[in-house]
Amino acid sequence: MAEFLKIEQRGAVCICTISAPKTLNALNSTILGELNDFLDTLDTHTTRCLILTGDGEKSFVAGADISEMAHLNEEEGFAFGQRGADVFRRIETLPIPVIAAVNGFALGGGCELAMACDIRLCSDNARFGQPEVGLGIIPGFSGTWRLARMVGMGMAKQLIFSGKPIRADEALRIGLVNAVYSQADLMNEAIALADSIAANAPLAVAAAKECINEEYDLPADEAIRYENELFGECFATEDQKNGMKAFLNKEKAVFEGK
């Protein structure tokens, strides 16, 4: 049983809460291991959308655990970074959408975790940043790679080189988050979005996520061909038959993921 994760299943939506309030949910090796184990057990057939959030009203994830990192040597630092990067990549490539409900500080590893999710919603007290250079290191959980692709190279360099955090409204302006809500409304909005995603054809949603992720760095002709292939594959599913039949009959479609 996980020590630092709280898991709640709400129909086809799963909520995973990182709960280490004494350290503002900072990521250590144990939490990274628990996240990895959770992904091993997550049933992506019955769960159609995942929400990641942090415990409390102050912090999503305040960063990686500095008390653990402070005494690492070069080899150990590499292994710690690789462990986090591997877990975050698993989240990014899950066949179901992942929503980050950022309820406060998302600094360092917390910002990197949010960026590994498909959609980022945040509370108006959220703060985002990559302060690693002030500690003598750089982002180690793929932050340099994702941030530049998300907000552009110039803004990524500014945030990483300065180490200064930004407020929720600035994160929205530069495209780091999708929407900003009050602390009281954040989880309700995240669940409502997750429910709307879960109501759609799961095989089609998975194919759309795969297309967006895989096509990003492809030349146009290859990307278009990739999409065409997955578009065609959708017509071999029962979901496509049921969805179009329901539309033509002016009924609500029920998708079984087949």
What does residue 239 show for φ and ψ, rounded to 5 degrees? -60, -40
| H or E, element range at 10 | strand 5-10
Catalytically annotated residue among 112, 214, 229, 238:
112
Q: How far apart are CA 258 and CA 197, in angstroms?
A: 17
Evaluate whether 32 touches 63 at the Cβ level (below 8 Å): no
Catalytically annotated residue among 3, 34, 132, 189:
132
Q: How far apart are CA 114 and CA 52, in angstroms?
A: 8
CA 85 to chain centre: 13
Q: What is the maximum alpha-carbon separation in the chain?
A: 65
CA 66 to chain centre: 22
The single-letter DSSP state of residue 180 is: E
Sheet strands (E) in the chain: 5-10, 13-18, 49-54, 59-61, 98-102, 105-107, 119-123, 127-129, 166-167, 179-181
Sheet strands (E) in 94-176: 98-102, 105-107, 119-123, 127-129, 166-167
The single-letter DSSP state of residue 185 is: H
| H or E, element range at 54 | strand 49-54
Amino acid at 227: E
Q: How far apart are CA 25 and CA 113, in angstroms?
A: 12
- Catalytic residue status for 112: yes
- Catalytic residue status for 57: no
Catalytic residue numbers read 112, 132
